[in-house]
């Protein structure tokens, strides 16, 4: 038990902050630079995972299990989001023959 505590505390919380920030930024750049709707959905997943990891790290370092329960809920919402999002992408592909988001600009002002 004492070993586990030392192992957890041997990595400072700042390191988790920098790592999660970097992973989140990679996701943001992916959303901004890609045109394939599926890759954009994957970049959103990257961002969600960065946030999940940071929530879990803070939860463990604070000794508060609520953070890990939140991560569990975020995972449930992400699963629902991916299921509906991919269904929409399949439907768009059936109607336009492409998953390029730049041709779906009918709602753009």
Partner 1 sequence: MLTQSLFYFLSFLAIFSALAVIIAKNPVHSVLYLILTFFAITGHYILLNAQFLAIVNMIVYAGAIMVLFLFVLMLLNLNAETEPQKPAYIKIAGVVSGGLLLLVLVGALKTVDVSGAGGTTATDMGLVENLGMVLFNEFLLPFELASVLLLTAMVGAVLIGRREA
Region 13-52 residues binding partner 1, contact defined as CB under 8 A = 13-15, 17-19, 21-30, 32-36, 38-39, 41-43, 45-46, 49, 52
Quote the distance between the C-alpha of residue 82 and its chain's center.
11
Site size toward partner 1, by CB under 8 A = 77
Residues 34 and 42 sit within 8 Å (Cβ to Cβ):
no
Q: Which residue number, 59 or 105, has a Cβ lying nearer to partner 1?
A: 59
**Nearer of residues 32 and 107 to partner 1, judged by Cβ:** 32
On whether the CB atoms of residues 10 and 37 are closer than 8 A, the answer is no
């Amino acid at each position: 038990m004492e070993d586990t505590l030392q192992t957890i505390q041997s990595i400072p919380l700042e390191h988790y902050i920098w790592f999660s920030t970097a992973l989140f930024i990679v996701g943001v750049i992916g959303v901004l630079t890609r045109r394939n709707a599926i890759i954009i959905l994957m970049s959103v997943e990257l961002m969600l995972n960065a946030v999940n990891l940071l929530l879990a790290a803070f939860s463990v370092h604070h000794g508060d299990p609520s953070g890990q329960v939140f991560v569990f809920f975020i995972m449930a919402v992400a699963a629902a989001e991916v299921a509906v999002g991919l269904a929409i992408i399949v439907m768009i592909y059936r109607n336009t023959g492409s998953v390029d988001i730049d041709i779906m600009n009918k709602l753009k002002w």
